[in-house]
Structure 1
Amino acid sequence: MINRNFLALCLVITMFSGIWSACQNRQKHILTANDTIAPELSVLNQKIMNDPNNPKNYIERSKWFTDHNRPDSALLDVRKAIGLDSLNPTGYIALSEVYQFTGKFPEAERALLKARAIAPDDNEAIVAHARFYLVFKNYDAAFKLADEAIKKTPLNPKAYFVAGIAYLERGDTLSGIKNLMNATAQDNQFFDAWVRLALIYQNKQDQLAEGYFKNALRIHPKSKAAWYLIGYFYQERGDYAKAVAAYDSVLRIDSHFRDAIYNKGYIAMVVDEDYDRAIDFFSQSLQVSPGWTNALYNRGYANELKGEIEEAREDYQNVLKLDPQNEMAIRAMDRTDR
């Protein structure tokens, strides 16, 4: 099943690292001598070759490097962009994002303050600073900057999004929804806002969540996270055929997405009572993530339900080697002790 802490992490990362990139178990494109250059990077490299004095090209490539876990390369590109145009706040905003990615938060804020000193009325700089304050749960500062941005630029979906997240984190769901709806009304391609709305209504067990997830998928039809989340929405509602279809969509994009494999195993075991198929899915998820105790336990449980007690106990014992206090495995060992 979905790990709630993982989901919470995803919801933070989506605001600061792009569109759910860290929630999608993406493969890291770390180049070695035997690798080919990724097509997206080749395009960015060519843009720089064609126009080497355009700072926007370096900032664009720096974002690619950050998304693919190459912060050192991202930092070099950002510094090159700033060197080409030191009076453009965009370079310092990008610098702040790289510093945030690497956990250098004092340096990140200094870069944002530099951007705002250069261009006090720049909307992107104000909103970026508001987002920064959300990391530290400084909601008053985030609200103040979001409000300032909206007053200066009324058509401002990013500022409404920041305000919406701040309200949600403060526990004011209605105000959070209102601001997120403003964000989507101003920009119906705002993927993150649609996903957040979907999650809110999913927690309310409201059917509206399905439409919001579908809006997100309309924008990014190859988003593994969005397919996974709508699959889990269907699973929670007992619509298992749609859940499995959504998980299959995830796996067509990324065949190693362990949680989709695992959930298919759970449905096979609990709903279909097809224990052989469940065991196969749990084994596949363990190939992706060896030592994952949830999958180990449930593979053992599927074997137990099948009547293969020795195989079941072996998995339960392996769970206890990894987590000696695992209560489910302890009870399972007692239950199968013959």
Structure 2
Amino acid sequence: MKQQYLLDYEATKASKNGMPVCKFDSCIPALQFCKENGIKMRGHVLVWHNQTPEWFFHKDYDVSKPLVDAATMERRLESYIKQVIEFCQKNYPGVVYCWDVVNEAILDDGSWREINNNWYTIMKEKYVEKAFYYARKYAKKDVALFYNDYNVFLPAKREAIYNLAQKLKEKGLIDGLGLQPTVGLNYPELDSDDIDSFKTTLETFAKLGLQIHITELNFEIKGDESNRTPENLKKQADRYYEMMKLLLKEDTDNGGPCNITCVTVFGICDDYPLYKNFKQCMYLWDKNCNPKPCFYSFLQAGLDWKASLLSK
């Protein structure tokens, strides 16, 4: 549910009030499937620097004209968020249980993402808070609002996200953080006390008292198919196992400090053409949808945890 797919260029150009117009044909099948099968859906994403049409930011929605001013962009932002949230709530009540309101607004060094980010160019960092403000305004009270990002274990980035979330929490605008562990077989450390470990990251964000969602969980075997050796597949399986054990240990339900309410994997099977030339070995199933060693280790972590509880 990204702006690239939901914004209707022709209808927006013809809009009498100057506000954007959305079309929802691209997401209706998924919403309908979830509604019919009692599945909850994550709304991803309301505001992102990527996959948003360039024309959305320009005067008269014409890329040959200048960027609009901050006040105009804020009105467009509100209109878009209102349309998307209210469409889902009216037509598919209860299906979308949370929204990633803003995605990947902070760089690895802890600074704001300014380059190739028209949101920032026009509205500066205010666009983040405004997006949460309007999402809170139009979302039902039981719909949770999240900030979502990757490389959250990097100390400078982690601190910047923490400070942002703290400010949003003080204003009642955020319910949780989405942490994207899109990482490799060796880095970062997971269950260690290193400054850039995932454990340290979890326990740092836990101090905010917000929900924690693990989003886009994957451990990639880099390179071509020749690298998908039994040894590397075992390393991948071990990483999934270690991560799941860590999440179980850190969760408040098991006496830990972290209110982990969701774990989501990034995709289903390897080499699925999510993007052009997208061939990656990072998922629980291989390219033929056969379960990999990491599928079994992912489940085994939970089984072992349950067995340890029963043995006490």
**Richer in strand (by share):** 2
More relative contact order in 1 or in 2 (CA 8 Å, sep 6+)?
2
> Same-fold call, TM > 0.5?
no
Bin for the TM-score computed over the shorter chain: 0.3 to 0.5
Bigger radius of gyration: 1
TM value normalised by structure 1: 0.32
TM value normalised by structure 2: 0.34
**Richer in helix (by share):** 1
